[in-house]
Chains A and B, each alone.
Chain A
């Protein structure tokens, strides 16, 4: 591996880590509040990518306007999923799990029917010029997601600690019954969690749409790494997700560069399978009964 390739691979790994973190943080947030999460979450990412495709590549919107729209669309999809699936099935973890598995099929078919099956939608990058770090040229669009991940997840952590609404969210995650006795509206909190999760997945999808070939199968490819990040990090732990995203981003990118993508996924699953017998709650997860 030349030093140039090494620097490029590290840049890619950090970008991949940021993307996994943006997707998985929503899953872990939803899990914290409801003890279950949306199996079709990576499909919300895909909807974000298609939103940018439709508005920026087809509709001629400015790139940042389209990304903002992807954020709003992701939040709306999150709210819709909360209202139609999670609220009626509250407390039934198995039913929520199976229903969102069905939702994967629905969203995949929806995207395929609207934007075409099997067509790779490539989106022209708004920033064509690469920049140089230590002699290696790195594509600007690839690392675009990094500052967003830092700002969004940092903002979320501050929100969860400093703001009334964020504290209410954490209270529900710790004990829903006591939280509702304090006058916290549980329905509003699950809606908030799902909206934040959807918005983060939407913005990640929008930012990464210029790099990935956007097809209806995109969600299905991303869901397993995102879910492994949540489990390895520890269900419900935002810090754990950040840590696991970094591990996952580096493992996936380096193994993909050195060997191939299938091996990369195999290594990640093997890491999970080796970790779970030792730490079933994940790296930073709390032990629950």
Chain B
């Protein structure tokens, strides 16, 4: 099988998935449409998280930056009368600023203490929302956040238009991140994630690239927050606690972070399991805890590495010399 053939197959599959996603809301129950919107938000979170953790370091503040985007966008729209479609990118900008600030504060901390310090700093931001009833609403959070208005004759507060709105945003973000991955900057990112010492010796400015990765990833996390808050119409600190962060971490690692598709596979599989296990809500965390321990011990590359292994076996069976998959 030639490379172009594989490429064609991949593009075909992608088009089929997009067509499927476009048909989905017209056939699914309303509840599933809502679930799908949250799924898109998780895909954005997972993909932007992968960018940061592969280039910079593992961190536990991503979900809180998603919260920063949600709070900023919600408060701008509610208290200052910003139009929703302007408030969402402003949430992204704010999350980006916070992400860069945290990175700068913890620039000299490395390894295990860096992971823990990011947890602490994230908790400081989250506790600020919890502590100040004005303007953040304390533990009950903020309610009656405006829905998007009727634009061009389409009522975006309805579920199907908002579904398409979030679908388009997700696809645009995925496209941008894919282009970044395939660009020169993406090559530099990959070099840094594989061997920082060697990357530095070839003239790549590591601190600048790491900061750039944090800025881009945090910006998209903030956008995801804006998407969430204008659908829920409410926001509270509980949404962004360490449990949510651990779920994101687990799903991304279960999927695998070596290629662009890993986190998407991870979130697709694990989010489905998450929704299906709703009746077992009490013991559900243990399932994900055991899943991550199992994956780390026995499948270190995540689900994506299994898929590429199977694909390599398949090519071998067909008598074609194995090519680099992914």
Contact = CB atoms under 8 A, between A and B. Distances in A.
A36 interface: yes
A280 B282 contact: no
A110 B286 CA distance: 8
B106 interface: yes
B300 interface: yes
Interface residues of B, number: 40
Interface stretch (B78-86, B126-134, B221-229): B126-134
Say which size band chain A's interface belongs to. Answer: 35 or more
B116 A105 contact: no
Interface in A205-236: 220, 224, 227-228, 230-231, 235
Interface in B257-299: 282-283, 285-286, 288-293, 296-297
Interface in A82-99: 84-85, 88-89, 93-95, 97-99
B120 A99 contact: no
B293 A99 contact: yes
B288 A102 contact: yes
A98 B283 contact: no
Main secondary structure of the interface of A (DSSP, over half): helix
B290 A102 contact: yes
B246 interface: yes
B112 A93 contact: yes
A106 interface: yes
A86 B183 CA distance: 38
A89 B124 CA distance: 31
A101 B249 CA distance: 9
Interface string A46-78: 000000000000000000000000000000000
Contacts of B123: 224, 265, 269
A103 interface: yes
Contacts of B121: 269, 273
Interface in B192-245: 242
Contact of A277 (B58, B107, B250, B292): B107
A128 interface: no
Interface string A97-120: 111011111101110110001000
Given A269-B124, A276-B117, A98 B286 contact: no
A282 B114 CA distance: 12
Nearest to B128: A266
A98 B288 contact: no
Which residue among B117, B282, B291 has the maximum number of chain A CB atoms within 10 Å of its CB?
B117
Contact of B290 (A88, A97, A106, A282): A106
Interface of A: 31, 35-37, 84-85, 88-89, 93-95, 97-99, 101-106, 108-110, 112-113, 117, 220, 224, 227-228, 230-231, 235, 262-263, 265-266, 269-270, 272-273, 276-277, 280, 282
Given A105-B246, A231-B113, 11 more contacts: A95-B300, A98-B296, A99-B297, A102-B246, A102-B290, A105-B289, A231-B116, A262-B131, A276-B106, A276-B109, A280-B108
Closest A-B pairs by Cβ, 6 of them: A105-B289, A109-B286, A105-B285, A102-B292, A102-B289, A280-B108
25 contacts: A36-B112, A85-B293, A88-B297, A97-B115, A99-B293, A99-B296, A101-B249, A102-B246, A102-B293, A103-B289, A105-B286, A106-B289, A108-B286, A110-B286, A117-B282, A224-B123, A227-B120, A230-B113, A230-B116, A235-B113, A265-B123, A266-B127, A273-B117, A280-B108, A280-B113
Interface of B: 58, 105-113, 115-117, 119-121, 123-124, 127-128, 130-131, 242, 246, 249-250, 253, 282-283, 285-286, 288-293, 296-297, 300
